[in-house]
């Protein structure tokens, strides 16, 4: 076998390996986004209310929240906010069909206040995760 054939085989093998790795990463990212609504970490709280539910996730010093409508489909006013004690809230507000967020803040070891709204109904956690 000459050097050109060896190079071609090595290049083909590297390309196949890279493609399979990218496919694996894409599938993992989609599965995480589908289950966590785009938040990384583990779910630490679920805040249900009449028209939706707000999921709260924590990873390291970061807290993330997503508000999901109980009956998705129709466009409606939704919002989610996360406020670390001593800071201003970070808010995602708009007209959505399925969910508002994700919203992530660095809380460190501080308490956070989570709010979620779907239509005219809301949930407010008070200071949690202290």
Per-residue pLDDT tens listing for the chain (130 residues) = 666 666 566 555 555 444 444 434 333 443 333 344 689 999 999 999 999 999 999 999 999 999 999 999 989 999 999 999 999 999 999 999 999 999 999 999 999 999 999 999 999 999 999 9
Whole-Å CA distances, 105 to 6, 29, 39, 76: 51, 21, 11, 25
Q: Which element (helix H / strand E) includes 14?
A: helix 3-36
Rounded CA separation 8/52 (Å): 56
CA dihedral sign of residues 46, 34, 84, 75: negative
What pLDDT does 112 receive? 98
What pLDDT does 14 receive? 53
What pLDDT does 8 receive? 60
What residues does each domain of the chain span? 1-36, 37-128
Radius of gyration of the chain (CA): 21
| 37-128 maps to CATH 2.60.40 | yes
């Amino acid at each position: 076998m000459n050097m050109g054939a060896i190079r071609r085989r090595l290049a083909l093998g590297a390309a196949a390996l890279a493609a399979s790795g990218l496919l694996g990463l894409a599938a993992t990212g989609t599965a995480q986004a589908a289950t966590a609504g785009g938040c990384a970490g583990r779910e630490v709280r679920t805040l249900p209310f009449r028209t939706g539910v707000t999921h709260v996730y924590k990873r390291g010093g970061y807290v993330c929240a997503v508000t999901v409508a109980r009956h998705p489909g129709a466009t409606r006013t939704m919002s989610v906010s996360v406020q670390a004690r001593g800071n201003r809230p970070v808010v995602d507000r708009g007209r959505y069909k399925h969910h508002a967020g994700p919203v992530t803040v660095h809380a460190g070891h501080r308490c956070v206040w989570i709010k979620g709204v779907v239509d005219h109904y809301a949930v407010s956690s008070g200071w949690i995760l202290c």
